[in-house]
Structure 1
Amino acid sequence: MMSSTPFTRPPRRNGDNRRVRRTQLPPVLARMLDTIRRNIILRNIVMALCIGIILYFVINLVLNIYTRHGQRIIVPTLIGHTFDEAQKMSEKGELRLEIIDSLYMPKQKPGQILDQSPKPGMGVKKGRRVFLTVNAFRPRTDVIPYVTGYSLRQAKNMLETKGFEIERLVYRSDMATNNVLDELYKGRSITHDSRTKAELGSGITLVVGVNHSSPLPRIPKVIGLTLREAKSRLWEVGLNVGNIKFDSGIGTNDTEDARVYRQEPNQQSRTDYGGKVSLWLTLDTQKIASSSKSSDAATRRYAVDEEESADNDREKE
C-alpha cells in the first residue's frame, strides 16, 4: 500500500503576489497604474499633485487652529459699567479692553464707560480688542483759540479742532459778511494774549459781521445728521441752532447716535443771518428715511415756486 503524504502548496513568488493584487483591481484602473508606473513624467506629476493636496489640507488645518475659525463670542454690553466691572465681564469671553478716549459728562459717574467698539451684541473672535470711551474724573481744559479776524468757516474749524463749539452767532453790520469781529466766553472778550482756558466742549459766542446787501443764507439739509454734525453745518452758513427735541426713550448714552429727522424751517428756504433752526432727533432709521424724502419733495416745490416768483418779478420790470 502506498503511503499518502499531505499536499502542500508551493510558496508564491513576489511576482505572483503582484499579479494577484493586480487582478483584484478593475482593468481600467490597472492599466492606468501600469502607465503611470512606466512613465516617469506622469509618475512625478501624480506625486506632485498628491503632495500639493496633502499640503493644502495641512495648511488649512493649521490656519483654522491659529485663527480659531468658527469660534465666536458675543460682545457684552459694557456701556454703563466701570472699567473694573467690564474687565470681570470680559474675562469669560477672553476679550482685551483698551481705553482710547475719555470725555467729561457731569451727569455720569466718573470712570463709567460711555461708548464701546465693537458694539454690544456683535460676534467676534476670542482675544479681540474692545475700544472704550470712559467718563473722565474731571473735565479737561484747554486754551480757547483766538479766532477774531478770521472768516466764520475758519473760526468754526479752529474751535472744533480744539474741542470747543459755537454757543451763539451774533451779527453786526459790517462791510464784510461772515467775518469774525469778536469772540466771547462767559461774556468776556477773548484777546490774542489772554490765553483763557475753558472746559472742552464749552460754547463760544462769536460776533460776526454782515453786509445787508448780501443775499440771505439758504438753510442746509441736516436731516440724517447727528446733532454735532447738524450744528456744525448750520454754523458754517451763519445760522444758530434753535430748540432741540429727542424722541421719547432716547437716554443720555444714546444722544450721540440719534439723528435729525425733522428741521424747521425746511432746507433750501432762506432766513436772516443768525436765524434759528429747530431740530428733532430719533434713532428710528425708517422715520429718518421717510422724513428725508418728504423734505426733498418740499424743497423741489419750493424751488419751483421761487423760480416762478422770479419770472413774475422780471416780467413786471
Structure 2
Amino acid sequence: MTKLSTRTRTDLFIHLGIILALAVVLVLTFFFGYLPFSTNHGQTITVPDLKQMSLDELENYLDDRKLRYEVSDCTFVAGGVPLTVFAQYPQPGSNVKEGRKIYLTVVKRMAPQLAMPNLIDLTSRSAELLIRSMGLVMGDLTYEPDLGKNKVLRQYANGQEIKAGMPVAKGTKIDLVVGDGEGNVYFPTPDVTNLPYDEAATAIQGAGLRVGVRVPVDDPEQEVGTVIKQKPRAGERIRVGQSVDVWVVGPLDSNTDANQ
C-alpha cells in the first residue's frame, strides 16, 4: 500500500482537501439520502375538517387517512351536540406526516352549574353584560310600569323566577322583566281650581305629578294668580309622573316660564 507523504506543505494541503471532500460527501449523503428515506420526506397528508363530527365517526375516518386523534380538552357549547368536535389542532388544511396525532376539543355532555347572579336593580344593559360574561344567554325583555326606566325588576330561567345564588346551567337563557320608566300608580287628579297658583303648584308636586303648561287667562271676577281651570280635570285618574296643565288669571310674571 502506497503511503501518502506529508513531508511537504503541498502534501498536507492535499490530505486536508481529501478529508474535507469526504466530509462533504458524508453530509450530503445523510441529508439527501438517508434522512429523506427514513422520514418519508415529501409524503404529507392534508388535515381534514373534523368540526361537528362525532367521536364514533372519527376512528374509522382518521384510520382511512392514516391519522390518529386524542381528546385534549372538553368544553360546553350552548346548543352544541354532545361528544362532537368543537376545535382541532392542527387546523384543517394543514399538511402533516402519516400517523400524525390530531388534538381535539370536544363538546361536553352536561353543562356546568353556575350560581345565578343578582341582576335586580341593574340596568338591562349592565345585566346583559353580566349574563354573557358568565356564559349564560340573554333572553327576552318584558316591560312593566315602573319609575325605574330599564331597571331589572325580576329574573327568570326556563319560565320560572330564579333568585340570586340558585344553581343554573351554563348556556341557560335568562329572561328579564324591566321597568318602563313611567310607573303604574294611578289616582284621582287633585283639585287645584280656585287656589292661588303657588298653592296649586305645591299640591300638584306633592302628589308626585309635574306642573305642566301655565296658560294666562283674563277673568275680571277672579283674583289675579288664581287657577280657574286644569287638565286633566279634578278626579280623572292619572299616573305618577304625569303633568297637570293649569289656566291662571292674569299675565305671566316676567320671571315665570310658560312651561314649568
TM-score by length of 1: 0.39
The structure in which a higher percent of residues are helix is: 1
The structure in which a higher percent of residues are strand is: 2
Greater RCO structure (CA 8 Å; 6+ sep): 2
Max Rg structure: 2
TM-score by length of 2: 0.45
